[in-house]
Structure 1
Amino acid sequence: MISNIQILRAIAAILVVAFHAVPTAKSYQLSTDFFYKIDVWGSAGVDIFFVISGFIMIYIQNKKNKTPAEFMKDRIERIAPLYWFLTLSFSFLLFIFPSAFNVWAFDFKTLINSLFFINYLTSGNYPVLFVGWTLEYEMLFYLVFALSLFIKNIFYSTIICILSLISMVYAGLNDIVLEFCFGMLIGLIFSKTKIQINSFVCFISIVVGFYLLTVDWNFELPRFMIWGLPSLLIFIGFLYLKPIKSRLFELLGSASYSIYLVHVFVILISYRVFSHFGQLDILFINEIYVILSILASIVAGVLLHYIVEKPLANLVDKFKNGLKRKFFEANY
């Protein structure tokens, strides 16, 4: 059951990659209408990630019972190293080779705000890595959740966290943060009950969730309803479905964070290459371009996961252990 969440991470990451691949094809006059509803399915990949995140925080806290400081430290160690590495690397390229990038330009204030996860939240402008806007909401959620942990009871701390996020939305924050609340509520239910859901019902929940994402509502609804509720149905379906055995998707789930961060650059590079070939006299060539850019993004993300993300995590662990040893030697 829980292993399925890793597979759902992989699916959500691939959906986001596809969401960016199709519009990029259009910008290079290599557009395709073949991929039905990929625009909404892909963009809802972020909403699925947010529901997963809310659930996982409750699941981890139930297992490990961390203090607020321990929880926040773990979250920063998980999210920040790779994000900072890519942000600094891209900023360096912008600074050294400004003419190589048509859209982006180096800005010191944007860099600092990006490193502190506040650029999009404070100015409405995208951070250096523009997909990092979602991480700013993630870090805000982590902070609110960490503060709620001063109340020792997980049920009451969860309720306080949910009420805090609702209050922030009422004050003007993007309602997408309510999707964390969906995941947290399912996390409480999952941890406190022994509910079993038939696999057929789970499958229907997933199918209905994806279908609802395609519905063109004739009236305006907030994002947490249009995409958040269907994402919740998809999540519940995967959570209670019998464990799916797929080494490939488990690998992609582990690398999903790297795939998410790096895919934008890979897609742009891919289409710069494809634009030199143009619309070749090959059946479905534009669709092939889209698929190739998605595959290239996935491969690049997996490589980044093994070459950079995991070594960075090991480096952080070594640094922490070194500090602990020095502290112990100095005091005992």
Structure 2
Amino acid sequence: MHKISALQAARGLAALAVIAFHSLFINAKYLAGATWLPDMFVFGQTGVDLFFVISGFVMVLASANKFGGRGEVLGFLKGRFLRIYPVYWVYFFAVMLVFLLKPGMVNSSQAGEVSLLNSFLLLPDVNLPLVMVAWSLIHEVWFYLVFALILLLPRRWMPLVFVAWLCAILAASVLYTSPANPYLRVIRHEFSIEFIFGALAGLLYLQVVSGAFQWRLPGALVGLIGVGLLAYALASGTVDGSDVIQSISLQRALIVGGGYTLLLLALALQEFKSQWQVPGVLTSLGDMSYSLYLSHILTLSVCGRLWVAFGSVEGGLVASVVFWAISLPVVIAVGYMSYRFVERPLTQRLSRRRAGRVSAQSVAN
């Protein structure tokens, strides 16, 4: 797999963007009055859009030599399972324990209504999962299942297959409203457009770096167009903080998803061309992005409850500054500790066990 530091850094920045978005709700819940948090933090919601674009890009790069191989599908699904579920289950069981002991502390926004089985398996449901941020993982699981089927096809078919999938989502978005059935809702959701954009960008990147396609557009121009699309989305109110579980606007998927895709493609090609890499602190942030994403709402909720418990109920600008000066470093610290002592050891151990079984099967055969 091609290692691109810009993509890894983008993961970290996407996690920070989501934290910025959720900070608005935490501030409104636990502090009153003025706040230093700007309204533009609403745009941080698009950190999820960025995650989906990165996912499509990375899936293509990670599977560059696996297309058309029937024996690759099971290995791909096992790898994705080990990457997503074990770490997620650590948080699931931790939150479930709280839910069983004090139901009112979990998912209070939906009166504690949650399917534990669907949450455990990351299956679509009419309600949010027990770990609320895991709703985006449900989309990831869907993307992985579709991508596993695509792996069965020859690589030369990939552009056509992804374009056909894109056209199907575009048609469904225009012709049909978001269905009530949670499975159909995920299947036709506009988030698929952003995953497809990322996958197409990944295919183009592979063509360029292999010399099969002569890239003539200046990377700076491509990146500038991407930034321009994102700036337009921010200025025009394309992202307004509304619920994205049911659907997002087609305009948002095309403009925000397209903007992030062009920006990432430009950075990836520039990195390949000049061999530059982003600062290590950003790639480290990307390394811990999954743990940071899973833990941040829980950490902020604990910070908010402690803030209220210690009698800090007065609001205002000063209180907001103090609260976030304490809470944001705690969020990063918890995310890092989760990565360092839970995610990395767990994934490494499971990966070694999987590699050992594969080696044993190869010897036996």
Report TM bin, short chain.
0.7 to 0.9
1:277 alignment partner, one of 274, 287, 312 = 312
Distance in 1 (CA, whole Å) between partners of 2:150 and 2:98 is: 40
- Deviation string 1:164-199 (CA, Å, 9 cap, x unpaired) is 464356275211111011001111111012537656
1:250 aligns with 2:251: no
- SS of corresponding position for 1:193: helix
Gaps of 5+ in 2: 179-187, 210-214, 240-248
Question: Is the alpha carbon distance of 1:247 and 1:136 closer, same or farther for their aligned partners in structure 2, counting shifts above 3 Å?
Answer: same
Structure 1 segment 18-33 matched on structure 2, within 5 A: 18-30=20-32, 32=35
The equivalent residue for 1:83 is 88
**1:285 CA drift (Å):** 3.8
Equivalent pair of 2:6/2:264 in contact (CA under 8 Å): no
1:215 aligns with 2:235: yes
C-alpha RMSD over aligned residues: 3.1
The equivalent residue for 1:70 is 75
TM-score, normalisation: structure 2: 0.78
Equivalent pair of 1:20/1:264 in contact (CA under 8 Å): yes
Equivalent pair of 2:6/2:268 in contact (CA under 8 Å): yes
Distance in 1 (CA, whole Å) between partners of 2:146 and 2:205 is: 22
The equivalent residue for 1:35 is 38
**1:280 CA drift (Å):** 7.3
Q: Which residue identity is paired with 2:63?
A: Q
Equivalent pair of 2:107/2:130 in contact (CA under 8 Å): no
The equivalent residue for 2:244 is none
Equivalent pair of 2:82/2:350 in contact (CA under 8 Å): yes
- SS of corresponding position for 1:124: coil
Question: Is the alpha carbon distance of 1:129 and 1:166 closer, same or farther for their aligned partners in structure 2, counting shifts above 3 Å?
Answer: farther
- SS of corresponding position for 2:148: helix
1:317 alignment partner, one of 347, 351, 354 = 351
Distance in 2 (CA, whole Å) between partners of 1:134 and 1:280 is: 32
Structure 1 segment 149-188 matched on structure 2, within 5 A: 149-151=151-153, 153-164=154-165, 166-167=167-168, 170=172, 172=178, 173-188=188-203
1:259 aligns with 2:298: no
1:6 alignment partner, one of 5, 8, 11 = 8
**1:241 CA drift (Å):** 4.0
Distance in 1 (CA, whole Å) between partners of 2:111 and 2:97 is: 11
- Deviation string 1:95-152 (CA, Å, 9 cap, x unpaired) is 1333554717777x7121122221xx3x33111111111111111011001011111x
1:110 aligns with 2:110: no
- Deviation string 1:44-88 (CA, Å, 9 cap, x unpaired) is 000011011101111111155561111111111111110122112
- Deviation string 1:249-288 (CA, Å, 9 cap, x unpaired) is 111100001000110001111122333324478x644134
The equivalent residue for 2:135 is 133
Question: Is the alpha carbon distance of 1:34 and 1:237 closer, same or farther for their aligned partners in structure 2, counting shifts above 3 Å?
Answer: farther
Distance in 1 (CA, whole Å) between partners of 2:352 and 2:258 is: 41
Q: Which residue identity is paired with 2:346?
A: L
Q: Which residue identity is paired with 1:163?
A: A
**1:161 CA drift (Å):** 4.5
TM-score, normalisation: structure 1: 0.85
Gaps of 5+ in 1: none
Equivalent pair of 2:31/2:320 in contact (CA under 8 Å): no
Equivalent pair of 1:202/1:241 in contact (CA under 8 Å): no
Amino-acid identity (%)? 26
Number of residue-to-residue matches in the alignment: 324
Distance in 1 (CA, whole Å) between partners of 2:97 and 2:105 is: 12
Distance in 2 (CA, whole Å) between partners of 1:102 and 1:138 is: 22
- SS of corresponding position for 2:81: helix
Question: Is the alpha carbon distance of 1:157 and 1:280 closer, same or farther for their aligned partners in structure 2, counting shifts above 3 Å?
Answer: closer
Q: Which residue identity is paired with 1:115?
A: F
1:189 alignment partner, one of 201, 204, 220 = 204
**1:248 CA drift (Å):** 1.2
